[in-house]
Amino acid sequence: MEKMLKDQVAIITGGASGMGEATAKLFAEEGAKVVVADYNEANAKKVADAIKDAGGVARVFVLDVSDEAACNAMAEETIREFGRIDALVCYAGRTFDGDPTMTPAERLKRTFEINYYGVYYCCFAVLDQMKKQKSGNIVICSSSGAFSPCIPAYEYHTSKGACESLTVQLAFDVAPLGIHVNCMKPGLCISPFYDELPGGTGSFDPVIAKEIPMKRAGYPIDFARIALFYCSELANYITGHCMYVGGGMGDIKAHGQSALLDAGLPAGR
Ligand SMILES: NC(=O)c1ccc[n+]([C@@H]2O[C@H](COP(=O)([O-])OP(=O)(O)OC[C@H]3O[C@@H](n4cnc5c(N)ncnc54)[C@H](O)[C@@H]3O)[C@@H](O)[C@H]2O)c1
């Protein structure tokens, strides 16, 4: 069977870990040349080496996505080395950590710098090339909590909400040019990010029990497959789309499942 991303070139920010690592490896298996873009150089190198050991093509680009010049350099380097950019998947993100060394205002600023400005800079860094090609796929990573919170996390969730608005704005603007912009909204994913949530992994067990109809957190590959879908021909007629990916979290809660359970009502037949 033909590989889904044969001869394509994909940049994956946050590619050194979690969903980004799984996406980089899956895209390479599907024939893409992959740029693993991350500020964790050692982990990014491990991911790129694993791709190369498996017969794929990968390179590392070390950057902090909150640095606009670095995002532009990432796109330029990719074009210099591989000649084109077919896909950009933006995962690089900062969690809501309650870091006591930062004031709330500093946390707000830093979270937006990485989670929103970083995505914005990366998108605009690749757009000129995609416009020249008259093709391209951008996938932005939000969070189910942006519009369906299960805990309060103001700076984090609002930064993700801005990413969803950016998805729609960009998609509207560049759709006539053959460029697709879509967004995934993860619920919970077992990754280092998840382990670093306040209170650690276990503290989210009640959230899983109450808020996730499938009763489990996701694995990085669950999200990588959605990125692949969006960047493949299967999604050719979709743009500006924001998809919950959370075992029903977000989609089903919106219909009041938790409220019914909280009220002690009988769960169906
Ligand atoms: N894990 C979850 O439960 C969950 C839930 C909802 C949304 N998300 C979102 O999914 C995305 C990926 O999360 P994950 O679980 O794979 O996390 P992860 O911690 O496993 O990976 C994130 C990667 O981003 C990199 N990174 C962070 N800040 C960066 C910066 N400024 N510049 C460059 N690289 C940077 C890190 O080095 C890391 O390799 C994030 O945007 C996160 O907000 C995660």
For the chain, first and last CA: distance in Å?
44
Which letter does DSSP use for residue 240 in this model? S
SS3 label, residue 17 = coil
Give per-residue pLDDT as tens, 142-160. 999 999 988 888 999 999 9
How far is the centre of ligand 1, averaged over its atoms, from the C-alpha of 106 (Å)?
Answer: 19
| Residues facing 66 on adjacent strands | none
Query: CA 183, CA 196: separation in Å to the nearest integer?
Result: 23
**Burial of 150 by CB count in 10 Å (0-12 exposed, 13-18 middle, 19+ buried)?**
buried
Ligand 1 site residues (CB inside 6 A) read: 14, 16-20, 38-40, 43, 63-66, 91-94, 114, 118, 141, 143, 186, 188-189, 191-194
Strand order in the sheet with 179-186: 57-62, 33-38, 9-13, 87-90, 136-141, 179-186, 242-245
What are the sequence ranges of the domains in the chain?
A: 9-261
CB 17 within 8 A of CB 42: no
Global pTM value: 0.94
Which residue, judged by its Cα, is nearest atom 40 of ligand 1?
93
Which residue, judged by its Cα, is nearest atom 26 of ligand 1?
92
Active-site annotation holder among 156, 194, 219, 244? 156
Where on the phi/psi map is residue 61: left (φ > 0), alpha (ψ -120 to 50), or beta?
beta
Closest ligand 1 atom, residue 145 Cα: 6
Query: CA 76, CA 102: separation in Å to the nearest integer?
Result: 34
| Residues facing 12 on adjacent strands | 36, 89
Structure tokens at 237: 């007629």
CB 77 within 8 A of CB 53: no
What's the pLDDT at 227?
Answer: 99
What's the pLDDT at 259?
Answer: 54
How far is the centre of ligand 1, averaged over its atoms, from the C-alpha of 93 (Å)?
Answer: 4
Closest ligand 1 atom, residue 22 Cα: 16
What's the pLDDT at 145?
Answer: 93
What's the pLDDT at 266?
Answer: 54
> Is 120 among the catalytic positions?
no
Query: CA 230, CA 98: separation in Å to the nearest integer?
Result: 33
Instruction: Report the Cα 126 to chain-centroid distance in Å.
Output: 16
Which letter does DSSP use for residue 116 in this model? I
The domain covering 9-261 belongs, at the CATH homologous superfamily level, to NAD(P)-binding Rossmann-like Domain (3.40.50.720)
What's the pLDDT at 211?
Answer: 86
Give per-residue pLDDT as tens, 75-130. 999 999 999 999 999 999 998 766 788 888 999 999 999 999 999 999 999 999 99
CB 215 within 8 A of CB 247: yes
What's the pLDDT at 269?
Answer: 46
| Residues facing 111 on adjacent strands | none
How far is the centre of ligand 1, averaged over its atoms, from the C-alpha of 89 (Å)?
Answer: 12
Helix 68-82 vs helix 118-133: crossing angle, to nearest 10:
30
Query: CA 138, CA 140: separation in Å to the nearest integer?
Result: 7
Mean pLDDT, the chain cut into blocks of 10 residues (269 residues total): 96 98 98 98 98 98 98 98 98 83 91 98 98 98 94 92 98 98 96 77 81 93 98 98 96 60 54
How far is the centre of ligand 1, averaged over its atoms, from the C-alpha of 268 (Å)?
Answer: 37
